[in-house]
A = this chain, B = another copy of it.
Amino acid sequence: MSALIVFPDLTRLVRPQSIVLVGASDKADSIGFRTLENMTTHSRFQGRLDLVNPGRKEIAGRACLPSVRDLASAPDVAILAVRADRVLESLRECGDAGTRFAIVFTSGFGETGADGRAVEAEMRAIVARTGMRIYGPNCPGLNNINGGLGMSFSPAWRIDRLPGPIGVATQGGGLGRSFMQAMDRGVGTGLWCSGGNEVDLEVSDYIHYMADAPDIEVIVTVLEGVRDGPRFMAAALHAARRGKPIVALKVGKSDYGVKAAQSHTAAIAGSAEINAAAFRELGIVEVDDIDEMIDAASMLARGKPTGREKIALYSFSGGTLALAADHVGVARLELSRFAPQTLAALGNALPSYAAFDNPVDVTAEVLVDSALTDVTLKATAEDPHTDLVVVPIPVEYGRTTELLASSMVKVQQTVATPIVPVWMSDRSGAGQRILIDGGLMPMRSLRGMARALTRYIGYGRWRAGLQPDWRPLGSAAHPQADATATVSLTEAAAKAVLKQCGVTVPAGIVVASVHEAGRAFEALDAPQVAMKVVSAAITHKTDVGGVRLGIASVAEARAAFEGIHASVAAHHEPSAIDGILVEPMLAKPFVEAVVGIHRDPVFGHVCTFGLGGVSIELFKDVSRRLLPLTPQSARAMVMETRCYQLLAGHRGQGAFDVDALVDVLVKLSDLVARHADRIEELEINPLAVRPQGKGVSALDAVLSIQQGTENLPW
């Protein structure tokens, strides 16, 4: 049922050998003129460049063709700088001419309403017919900084030219340009793809390309929504396997944001919680703001974290170091414990009133002696237990901060441990410039530093735990499920499915008469039983009086049978009742867990785990994982809830059977994986977790499946 996900090779889009500019112009300030200027005067493009403009024979000394049809050979890229009403015809000509890629700057399509969306559908038809791929429309172009080629009409192309190992993939242009301007803080960006309305090529394609591009090490993306979950996940997994982190800013984390994003683009916003969980599992570093994106990406461009990094703090202001230590502590990062030789080296070099343990307070007096700064900073960075050296600089102090900055750049050339400056002041200065030019991208605040290092180290931890063969169930292309066409099994039927795949359920008997109810009580031989109505039509059994608990005799069982029928009769036809389920009540103690698996429209099946009651309802203490679960990931998702302490043996109580819980989570995941096209939702609430060694038991279960699959085997 799954189609293969294929990504186009974008090499000839990013590094074309031939380009045609349709709508070339010599009218100053026109899109056609600015693009031509960007690609000639301000680019290093060595390939063939043709110009098309039916009204001109020559532009800026270059021959100009009347039409794309007049090209001698098919170009790699056609850039369309033409009016909206000319775009479709131009695209047809380009496609017919065998053009590989068309970049469409022009706006006035899908973003304007239904008419524009209809034109976009025609663009997609041209893609389908000719095989030409479309980048845009309504986009600012493609900036290949490392390759020196600006296929862009923006006057900013000639300014934002600091090459580097970061690739940027965006939908809209504003936030992408904001990231590009971090070049002024020393963040080199090699490639920026900004596909606008994405009628064809989309963020996932650029991510996939960047994962293979030798000049890109870190991928950055801004998303207002994920259109095609499987393609996005496939691209992300490809980047993960290539060892390239993705840093993502996802817009639409609140109702306001979702609403504003929707008025701005058609992409699906999706649930912020599911998005965050999926990103975490795919190793996508999620950030909340552009400055955080810059900090995280530039840290990841500086080294490959292991997840076990320990931090040294080094500065000349005691108060600043104390505040920095606070930020490290509040973020639950770790300060390193210096080795004896580090303490000795610092002690030898520094005056007695300095602090030569971690944090290292060299005091402002020392800082004017740059040799002493070199020695002490190097000793700190060379400490065998230190993986990152953070240098908070609270103030611009002229020559003093220049000396410190120079020393940092110099020492960084001799040690591998990243030295991370934090330029806290609103005052710029030569010292800040020295850091930027020396490749030590200064963070702008202690909080920003702590967040960036948390993300950097967290990415390392994820990478260390990456299971190379794992891929989400939802990453296979699958037909969208139709939510209206699902049916729920009865509790008894759902429990039968569970039992069949090895999940313990109470030994229930479905009865159809008062007499059978009494017999069932005797047969179960339990001190107490529960009795529940069996009906495919009734979702909330308690609400219609369909449940009785604590039944302790034959007489009570018989009375309960009649009582349930009477209660339910007030809400449903008698024919809705398929029987009454009689089950032994589970002896205490046990902890009530909740396990839910549902199909997310973007990321496919997601498992949610929590312990019942207030911890889920009031404190949202749940963990989530994309399916399939492994024993490792199932255990991790149990352990990362705060309520795990209750299972582990809280306040002197015995521990509960976490091993059996993990085993059942994996079994449920396997069940859903085997029937992924069929199962929409599976919820066990409660799943009773009994004392260690005694297992778990599914006390209630809901299983919703695609209509029409009821009679398929399990």
Q: A394-B290, A396-B181, A424-B291 are in contact. Are A322 and B445 (CB under 8 A)?
A: no
Among A170-178, A229-237, A670-678, the stretch in contact with B: A170-178
Asked if A355 is at the interface (CB within 8 A of a chain B CB), the reply is yes
Asked if A701 is at the interface (CB within 8 A of a chain B CB), the reply is no
* B426 and A294 within 8 A (CB): yes
| Chain B hits for A650, CB < 8 A | 617
Q: Which of A595-642 contact B (CB under 8 A)?
A: 614-615, 617-619, 621, 642
Asked if A704 is at the interface (CB within 8 A of a chain B CB), the reply is no
* A445 and B289 within 8 A (CB): yes
> C-beta contact mask, A296-328 vs B, less than 8 Å → 1, else 0?
000000000000000001001111111111111
- Whose C-beta in chain B lies nearest to the C-beta of A361? B264
> C-beta contact mask, A472-498 vs B, less than 8 Å → 1, else 0?
000000000000000000000000000
Asked if A536 is at the interface (CB within 8 A of a chain B CB), the reply is no
* B619 and A330 within 8 A (CB): no
Asked if A643 is at the interface (CB within 8 A of a chain B CB), the reply is yes
* A174 and B394 within 8 A (CB): yes
- Whose C-beta in chain B lies nearest to the C-beta of A646? B614
How far is B328's CA from A187's CA once the two chains are assembled, in angstroms?
28
A434 to chain B, nearest CB (A): 16
* A177 and B322 within 8 A (CB): no
Q: Which of B255, B261, B291, B425 contacts A445 (CB 8 A)?
A: B291
Asked if A259 is at the interface (CB within 8 A of a chain B CB), the reply is yes
Among A6-14, A35-43, A213-221, A245-253, the stretch in contact with B: A245-253
Asked if A80 is at the interface (CB within 8 A of a chain B CB), the reply is no
A602 to chain B, nearest CB (A): 18
Which of A255, A316, A317: most chain B Cβ within 10 A?
A: A317
How far is B291's CA from A323's CA once the two chains are assembled, in angstroms?
13
Which of A224, A255, A618, A646: most chain B Cβ within 10 A?
A: A618
Asked if A112 is at the interface (CB within 8 A of a chain B CB), the reply is yes
Q: Which of B256, B289, B330 contacts A254 (CB 8 A)?
A: B330
* B260 and A177 within 8 A (CB): no
A252 to chain B, nearest CB (A): 7
Q: Which of B155, B224, B325, B444 contacts A257 (CB 8 A)?
A: B325
Residues of A in contact (CB 8 Å), total: 89
Q: A256-B325, A263-B355, A320-B175 are in contact. Are A184 and B291 (CB under 8 A)?
A: no
* A328 and B256 within 8 A (CB): yes
Asked if A353 is at the interface (CB within 8 A of a chain B CB), the reply is yes
Q: Which of A161-217 contact B (CB under 8 A)?
A: 170-175, 177-178, 181-185, 187
How far is B426's CA from A646's CA once the two chains are assembled, in angstroms?
47
* B319 and A425 within 8 A (CB): no
* A446 and B289 within 8 A (CB): yes
Q: A292-B447, A323-B289 are in contact. Are A394 and B175 (CB under 8 A)?
A: yes
Going nearest first, the 7 A-B pairs with the smallest beta carbon separation are: A254-B329, A174-B317, A257-B326, A264-B318, A256-B329, A172-B319, A260-B325
Q: A interface vs B, CB < 8 Å?
A: 108, 111-112, 155-156, 170-175, 177-178, 181-185, 187, 222, 224, 249, 251-257, 259-261, 263-265, 288-292, 294, 313, 316-330, 335, 353, 355, 357, 359, 361, 394-398, 424-428, 444-447, 614-615, 617-619, 621, 642-643, 645-646, 650-651
**7 more A-B residue pairs beyond the given contacts A291-B424, A294-B426, A618-B621, with a C-beta to C-beta distance below 8 A:** A112-B353, A172-B319, A175-B394, A185-B426, A251-B326, A256-B328, A260-B313
- A-B contacts, 19 of them at CB < 8 A, read A111-B353, A112-B353, A174-B317, A174-B395, A175-B394, A178-B424, A181-B396, A184-B427, A249-B323, A259-B325, A260-B324, A261-B319, A263-B318, A263-B355, A288-B327, A290-B424, A290-B446, A294-B426, A619-B619
